[in-house]
């Protein structure tokens, strides 16, 4: 009888754990699957909320906060009313800080998001904000590269930044194209740690590359 | 045993099949409007939804029992409510209260133009100051393209809304600056001493300003110095007027920085090429050095020191107005030292402290001579020639201490209390052919205390109420004044503001060091009433302002046969008008322009005016157009500006001996003022990331069209001869090249479409 009780206890607790992590996996996977369509549908804010909900409930996972921040900064870029951009970007900043706190340190993917947040602040008033945010965006790309040289996302972001910089300022399609090609080859070999780890950017890189031709 | 298996089965089953209920409702703000994008969550669960564009939300949940529902959205207080979930649909409407938000909240703007790098949308950027065509990188010249300031070409300073230049005071990091401009030269306006690149924020208030500032009847110009630089850099400059070099070092830990610069200005080569009307026997020559040290004293604290030294020398000769053969030679040597120490720090959770300390000492040595055609000194004993050979050594010292403590109240509301102490000492040694030597001096201890509260009733309604008390030891009188302003938000981007205040200013120091009698002098006083409406977005700005200003106790001079006998406070006056400002960054691609217009109706009876009349520094209509366009392909920014002002009155006022009073012997109005200016900034290295060198070429011309400009008239002693006061040269040209090493300065001018 005692043995059976122990067995029962183990079965029940592992089932709960299994169910819990399965629930987490499922929720994350279904939301991650919506990321690419999120930009098109314009529901990045909603996705950000979904991830934040998972993050707040889990409390020990950095990835849901990471995705919540990624979606928030995507929303900041998509927001047509520039007077709202700063508020959304500040929200993304809070979320990525939570991810960093839970993870215990910065990592390459977190730096990618930080670079995007800085760029979104800059887009509000590039002339006046270039000095502060342009610098922050570029230095986070550099950090992301050095922390994980195999990560294709900082290369893709660098290409995007070149793409939007006028030719006479050293940007343009030609230098952007090189970076997009490099990023694409890196995407081909890039293996995320788990199926939940960041693996976005390949399709947008391909899209930008097509624009360069 | 079987029961046990059943139990296990039951437990496992219970995880996979649960009851589901649907929660739905609407999100509403305080005015009942839908709030889109609100995240609604059952606390500590994955279940939740986001409100759509019409504020409705709906989601399913498997949770049961007592739970907390949380709703949050940017800009609103988080909403929490306990709910009990049964296996049934639940309808819950969510009321949200707007959070106070500095970026969204109404801002008191009556009388105020701000150029800053804050996230709030402001009318101007710091870069606007340095890229205004007519300004030649002079802060106050750029301010002159805004409504409120007059175009006074013969004298430095800002003449605001019928006020004299003395009625505008300049503050750096909160403390008053004496001698902000280079020392006066008769009939030639001087520039400000300080480079606009030192400042990250500029606030120009043409009236109704905070109780934190006093001793300015009309206007204040508030300059905020930059904090730590972005990088270590060195820079070199060469231009048609001189050379400059500087170095700025940022510590590795990015917690402190120091730097210095040196500027040498010599107009000799320029005057050789561009002929000047006066005959310069000493071409203007300036040595400028400055030093700065800035350190973060904590996470929230910053200590800044700025030190400045200038030595200059110039001399010019013009024909003497009282004779056809003599000349008048004016020589000026100036030494100016200025130091400013400021410290801001957070004290505990709620308090903020701002301390400022500044000291300046300025010495002008003026030598004036009557000369013959061979430029040798001539001495006559008869009036007025007996007055024309003289020496003055004038010395002005000012020490200022200021402390402001600020406490955050509920929401954005704020309470401020502080004090100021000014000590000034002015000395003048005068000697002439007729007067052996007169040494006079004057000093004053002025103490001030102020308190102020910013009340945000909601994000849409704010009030600033303050009071200020001052006491001058020289006048031995206190004064106490109220300052009130209100702002109300009208729609998303519009707002209306009102301001009222009383402003005191002691008579200018120079009166106290002359040999007049000045019994029972009092503070001069002005009362401001301002109504303002503005709409600001990133694309355009529209501003309209109405004002009325009443002057009391202005200084009057009492004449005698020998000139001025005494002073009193019997003067008065008023000024009223309206101003418009329109800025548009959208209509024309890559073109940013602004238009400003001022209407001013002012009269005053002061100094030697025989009655209340329009002063010679004020005109009815002033308008400016400023255009900026960056051409990416050429890496060049083109700036143009055009200013028009109607003519100003001029008077020949003299002593009417029989009536023992002043009389106007001649008067008139000058021709209209027109000035078209143009400047080009070429940035060959722009956008090259990682470039170690950054170069800017600047070329500018003021008064491109060569329009004739007359600022007024000088009269001979007997009134028979009248000469127009005109600029020393029709046009001003500037060509310069500035190289910065190790820092990309493209940010200063980069195009907004990048």
B100-111 pLDDT, tens digit each: 777 677 777 777
Q: For residue B541, report the phi and psi dihedrals to the nearest 5 degrees.
A: -135, 135
- Mean pLDDT, rounded, for B692-721: 92
Residue of chain B nearest A92, judged by CA positions: B74
Residue of chain A nearest B50, judged by CA positions: A46
Report helix, strand or coil for B13: helix
Spatial contact of A117 and A93, defined as CB atoms under 8 Å apart: yes
d(CA B137, CA B679): 11
pLDDT at A117: 96
d(CA B700, CA B578): 32
Of B47, B50, B117, the CB nearest to A128: B117
> Does the beta carbon of A27 lie under 8 angstroms from any beta carbon of chain B?
yes
DSSP summary character for residue B174: T
d(CA A68, CA B164): 58
Quote the tokens at residue A107.
């990592």
pLDDT at B174: 92
Report helix, strand or coil for A4: helix
Quote the tokens at residue A98.
């939570």
Asked if residue B347 has pLDDT above 90, the reply is: yes
Contacts of A86 in chain B (CB under 8 A): 103, 119
Contact A88 B74 (CB under 8 A): yes
Contact A128 B127 (CB under 8 A): yes
Residue of chain B nearest A64, judged by CA positions: B46
pLDDT at B387: 87
**Sole residue written with tokens 């090249």:** B737
Of B126, B538, B687, the CB nearest to A165: B687
> Does the beta carbon of B55 lie under 8 angstroms from any beta carbon of chain A?
no
Asked if residue B749 has pLDDT above 50, the reply is: no
* Residue-wise pLDDT tens digits, B182-191: 999 999 999 9
d(CA B167, CA B150): 13
Adjacent-strand bridge partners of B651: B667
Side-chain-facing half-sphere of A4: CA atoms under 13 Å: 8
Interface test with A, best of B119, B227, B489, B591 (most A CBs within 10 A): B119
Spatial contact of A28 and A54, defined as CB atoms under 8 Å apart: yes
Asked if residue B748 has pLDDT above 60, the reply is: no
Q: For residue A157, report the phi and psi dihedrals to the nearest 5 degrees.
A: -65, -40
Contacts of A132 in chain B (CB under 8 A): 117, 230
Contact A125 B752 (CB under 8 A): yes
CA distances from B46 to A28, B251, B325, B387, B583 (A): 10, 47, 97, 91, 48
Spatial contact of B551 and B571, defined as CB atoms under 8 Å apart: yes
Mean pLDDT of chain A: 87
Contacts of A43 in chain B (CB under 8 A): 50
> Does the beta carbon of B1 lie under 8 angstroms from any beta carbon of chain A?
yes
Quote the tokens at residue A5.
């009780």
ipTM of the complex: 0.82
User: What is the CA B597 to chain-centroid distance, rounded?
Assistant: 18
- Mean pLDDT, rounded, for A96-122: 94
Asked if residue B29 has pLDDT above 70, the reply is: yes
**Sole residue written with tokens 């819990």:** A20
Longest Cα pair distance anywhere in chain A, in angstroms?
Answer: 82
- The radius of gyration of chain A from alpha carbons, rounded to an integer in Å, stands at 20
Spatial contact of B75 and A90, defined as CB atoms under 8 Å apart: no
> Does the beta carbon of B7 lie under 8 angstroms from any beta carbon of chain A?
yes
> Does the beta carbon of B686 lie under 8 angstroms from any beta carbon of chain A?
yes
d(CA B641, CA B679): 9
Asked if residue B641 has pLDDT above 90, the reply is: yes
pLDDT at B447: 97
Contact B754 A130 (CB under 8 A): yes
Report helix, strand or coil for B324: coil
> Does the beta carbon of A210 lie under 8 angstroms from any beta carbon of chain B?
no
Contact B125 A128 (CB under 8 A): yes
Of B37, B45, B538, the CB nearest to A125: B538
Mean pLDDT of chain B: 89
Contact A127 B8 (CB under 8 A): no
B662-B663-B665 Cα angle (round to 5):
140
> Does the beta carbon of A72 lie under 8 angstroms from any beta carbon of chain B?
no
Q: List the alpha helices (DSSP H) in chain A.
A: 2-33, 35-41, 44-58, 62-78, 82-103, 108-124, 126-129, 135-147, 152-164, 173-189, 202-212
Tell me the angle at which helices A44-58 and A2-33 cross, rounded to the nearest 10 degrees. 160
- Mean pLDDT, rounded, for B404-417: 92
Asked if residue B355 has pLDDT above 90, the reply is: yes
Contact B46 A49 (CB under 8 A): no
User: What is the CA B365 to chain-centroid distance, rounded?
Assistant: 30
pLDDT at B16: 47
Q: Which residues contact A188 (CB under 8 A, 6 or more apart)?
A: none
Contacts of A168 in chain B (CB under 8 A): 632-635, 686-687
For the ranges A35-39, B205-209, B348-352, B361-365, the one whose mean pLDDT is highest: B361-365
> Does the beta carbon of A170 lie under 8 angstroms from any beta carbon of chain B?
yes
Asked if residue B747 has pLDDT above 50, the reply is: no
Q: What percent of chain A has pLDDT over 70?
A: 90
Q: Which residues contact B641 (CB under 8 A, 6 or more apart)?
A: B132, B133, B134, B145, B624, B625, B626, B627, B676, B677, B678
Contact A8 B47 (CB under 8 A): no
d(CA B226, CA A94): 27
| Three state DSSP letters for B439-468 | EEEEEEEEEEEEEEEEEEEECCEEEEEEEE
Contacts of B47 in chain A (CB under 8 A): 53
For A184-188, B30-34, B49-53, B118-122, which range has the lowest pLDDT when averaged over its residues? B118-122
Restricting to B residues 277-296, those with a Cβ less than 8 Å away from any Cβ of A are none
Q: What percent of chain B has pLDDT over 70?
A: 93
Contact B687 A87 (CB under 8 A): no
> Does the beta carbon of B75 lie under 8 angstroms from any beta carbon of chain A?
yes
Asked if residue B128 has pLDDT above 90, the reply is: no
B258 vs B84, which has greater pLDDT? Answer: B258
Of A12, A127, A164, the CB nearest to B750: A127
DSSP summary character for residue A131: I
Q: What percent of chain B has pLDDT over 90?
A: 66
* Confidence band for B519, pLDDT divided at 50, 70 and 90: low
By 3-state DSSP, what share of chain A in percent is helix, strand and coil, each rounded to 5?
Answer: 85, 0, 15
Contact A135 B686 (CB under 8 A): no
For A184-198, B82-96, B106-120, which range has the lowest pLDDT when averaged over its residues? B106-120
- Mean pLDDT, rounded, for B271-293: 96
Report helix, strand or coil for B573: strand
d(CA B167, CA B218): 5
Of A23, A45, A125, the CB nearest to B37: A45
pLDDT at B130: 78
d(CA B172, CA B115): 14
Asked if residue B751 has pLDDT above 50, the reply is: no
Quote the tokens at residue B468.
């200020």
* Beta pairing, strands B494-505 & B524-536: antiparallel
Tell me the angle at which helices A108-124 and A62-78 cross, rounded to the nearest 10 degrees. 20
| Three state DSSP letters for B580-634 | EEEEECCCCCCEEEEEEEEEEEEEEECECCCCCECCCCCCCEEEEEEEEEEECCC
Is B161 exposed, middle or buried, given 0-12, 13-18 or 19+ CB atoms closer than 10 A? buried
Contacts of B752 in chain A (CB under 8 A): 125-127
Contact A88 B39 (CB under 8 A): no
Beginning with the edge strand found earlier in the chain, give each strand of the sheet holding B39-42 in spatial order.
B48-50, B39-42, B65-72, B79-85
d(CA A159, CA B641): 39
CB atoms within 10 A of CB B130: 22
> Does the beta carbon of A26 lie under 8 angstroms from any beta carbon of chain B?
no
> Does the beta carbon of B684 lie under 8 angstroms from any beta carbon of chain A?
no
- Mean pLDDT, rounded, for B221-227: 91
* Beta pairing, strands B233-239 & B732-741: antiparallel
Among residues B485, B486, B596, the alpha carbon closest in space to that of B541 is found at B596
* Residue-wise pLDDT tens digits, B580-623: 999 998 898 889 999 999 999 999 999 999 999 999 999 999 99
d(CA A13, CA B222): 67
pLDDT at B754: 34
A211 vs B467, which has greater pLDDT? Answer: B467
Among residues B247, B221, B222, B228, the alpha carbon closest in space to that of B236 is found at B247
- The radius of gyration of chain B from alpha carbons, rounded to an integer in Å, stands at 32
Residue of chain B nearest A45, judged by CA positions: B37
DSSP summary character for residue B149: B
DSSP summary character for residue B538: S
Q: Which residues contact A207 (CB under 8 A, 6 or more apart)?
A: none
Do you know the residue count of chain B?
A: 754
Q: How many CB contacts within 8 angstroms connect chain A with chain B? A: 110
Of B11, B75, B101, the CB nearest to A12: B11
Contact A56 B75 (CB under 8 A): no
Among residues B391, B287, B290, the alpha carbon closest in space to that of B334 is found at B287
Quote the tokens at residue B557.
């001079």
CB atoms within 10 A of CB B312: 20
Residue of chain B nearest A131, judged by CA positions: B747
Spatial contact of B469 and B478, defined as CB atoms under 8 Å apart: yes
For the ranges B77-86, B443-452, B531-540, the one whose mean pLDDT is highest: B443-452
pLDDT at A39: 74
Contacts of A162 in chain B (CB under 8 A): none
């Amino acid at each position: 009888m005692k043995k059976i009780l122990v067995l029962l206890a183990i079965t029940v607790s592992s089932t709960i754990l299994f169910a819990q992590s399965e629930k987490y996996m499922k929720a994350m996977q279904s939301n991650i699957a919506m990321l690419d369509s999120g930009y098109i549908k314009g529901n990045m804010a909603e996705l950000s909320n979904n991830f934040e909900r998972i993050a707040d409930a889990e409390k020990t996972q950095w990835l849901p906060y990471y995705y919540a921040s990624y979606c928030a900064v995507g929303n900041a870029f998509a927001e047509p009313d520039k007077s709202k951009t700063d508020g959304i970007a500040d929200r993304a900043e809070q979320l990525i800080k939570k991810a960093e706190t839970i993870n215990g340190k910065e990592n390459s993917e977190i730096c990618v998001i930080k670079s995007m947040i800085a760029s979104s602040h800059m887009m509000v008033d590039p002339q006046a904000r270039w000095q502060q945010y342009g610098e922050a965006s570029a230095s986070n790309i550099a950090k992301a590269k050095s922390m994980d040289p195999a990560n294709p996302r900082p290369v893709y972001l660098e290409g995007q930044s070149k793409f939007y910089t006028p030719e006479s300022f050293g940007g343009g399609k030609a230098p952007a194209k090189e970076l997009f090609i490099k990023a694409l080859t890196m995407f081909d070999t890039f293996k995320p740690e788990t199926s939940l780890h960041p693996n976005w950017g390949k399709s947008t890189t391909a899209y930008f590359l097509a624009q360069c031709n | 045993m079987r029961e046990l298996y059943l139990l296990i089965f039951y437990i496992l089953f219970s995880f996979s099949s649960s009851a589901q209920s649907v929660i739905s409702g609407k999100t509403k703000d305080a005015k009942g409007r839908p709030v889109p994008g609100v995240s609604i969550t059952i606390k500590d669960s994955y279940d939740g939804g986001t409100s759509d564009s019409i504020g409705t939300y709906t989601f399913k949940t498997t949770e049961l029992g007592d739970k907390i529902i949380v709703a949050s959205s940017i800009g609103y207080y988080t909403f929490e409510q306990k709910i009990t979930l049964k296996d049934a649909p639940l309808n819950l409407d969510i009321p949200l209260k707007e959070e106070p938000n500095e970026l969204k909240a109404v801002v008191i703007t009556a009388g105020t133009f701000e150029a800053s790098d804050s996230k709030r949308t402001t009318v101007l950027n710091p870069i606007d100051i340095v890229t205004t065509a007519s300004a030649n990188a002079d802060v106050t010249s750029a301010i002159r393209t805004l409504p409120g300031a007059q175009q006074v070409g013969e004298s430095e300073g800002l003449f605001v809304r019928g006020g004299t230049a003395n009625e505008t005071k300049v503050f750096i990091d909160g403390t008053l600056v004496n001698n902000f401009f280079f020392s006066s030269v008769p009939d030639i306006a001087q520039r400000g001493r300080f480079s606009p690149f030192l400042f990250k924020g500029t606030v120009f208030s043409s009236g109704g300003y905070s109780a934190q500032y006093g001793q300015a009847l009309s206007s204040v110009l508030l300059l905020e110095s930059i904090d730590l630089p972005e990088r270590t850099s060195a820079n070199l400059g060469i231009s048609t007027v001189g050379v400059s070099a500087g170095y700025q070092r940022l510590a590795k830990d990015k917690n402190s920085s120091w730097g210095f610069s040196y500027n040498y200005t010599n107009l000799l080569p320029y005057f050789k090429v561009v002929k000047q009307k006066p005959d310069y026997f000493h071409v203007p020559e300036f040595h400028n050095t400055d030093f700065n040290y800035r350190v973060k004293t904590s996470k929230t604290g910053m200590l800044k020191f700025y030190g400045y030294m200038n030595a200059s020398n110039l001399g010019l000769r013009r024909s003497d107005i009282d004779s056809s053969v003599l000349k008048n030679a004016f020589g000026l040597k100036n030494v100016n030292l200025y130091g400013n120490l400021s410290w801001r720090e957070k004290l505990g959770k709620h308090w903020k402290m701002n301390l400022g300390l500044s000291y300046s000492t300025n010495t002008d040595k003026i030598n004036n001579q009557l000369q013959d055609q061979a430029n040798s000194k001539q001495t006559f004993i008869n009036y007025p020639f007996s007055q024309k050979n003289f020496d003055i050594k004038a010395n002005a010292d000012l020490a200022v201490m200021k402390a402001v403590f600020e406490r955050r109240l509920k929401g954005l509301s704020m309470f401020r209390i502080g004090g100021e102490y000014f000590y000034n000492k002015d000395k003048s040694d005068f000697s002439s052919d007729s007067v052996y030597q007169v040494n006079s001096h004057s000093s004053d201890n002025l103490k001030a205390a102020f308190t102020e509260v910013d009340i945000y009733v909601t994000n849409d309604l704010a009030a600033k109420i303050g009071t200020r008390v001052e006491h001058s030891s020289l006048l031995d009188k206190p004064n106490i004044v109220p300052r009130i302003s209100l702002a109300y938000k009208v729609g998303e981007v519009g707002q209306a503001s009102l301001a009222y205040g009383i402003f005191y200013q002691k008579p200018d120091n120079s009166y106290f060091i002359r040999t007049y009698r000045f019994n029972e002098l009092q503070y001069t006083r002005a009362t401001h009433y301002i109504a303002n409406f503005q709409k600001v977005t990133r694309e355009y700005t529209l501003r309209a302002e109405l004002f009325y200003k009443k002057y009391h106790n202005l200084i009057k001079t009492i004449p005698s046969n020998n000139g001025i006998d005494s002073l009193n406070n019997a003067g008065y006056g008023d000024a009223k008008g309206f101003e418009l400002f329109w800025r548009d960054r959208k209509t024309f691609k890559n073109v940013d322009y602004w238009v400003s217009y001022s209407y001013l109706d002012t009269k005053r009876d002061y100094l030697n005016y025989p009655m209340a009349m329009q002063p010679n520094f004020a005109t009815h209509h002033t308008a400016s157009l400023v255009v900026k366009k960056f051409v990416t392909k050429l890496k060049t920014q083109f700036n143009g500006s055009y200013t028009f002002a109607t003519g100003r009155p001029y008077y020949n006022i003299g002593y009417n001996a029989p009536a023992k009073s002043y009389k106007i012997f001649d008067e008139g109005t000058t021709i209209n003022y027109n000035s078209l200016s143009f400047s080009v900034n070429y940035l060959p290295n722009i956008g090259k990331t990682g470039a170690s060198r950054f170069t800017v070429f600047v070329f500018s011309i003021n008064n491109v069209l060569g329009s004739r400009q007359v600022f007024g008239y000088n009269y001979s002693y007997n009134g028979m001869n009248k000469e127009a006061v005109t600029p020393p040269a029709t046009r001003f040209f500037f060509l310069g090249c500035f190289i910065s090493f190790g820092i990309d300065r493209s940010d200063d001018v980069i195009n907004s479409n990048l």
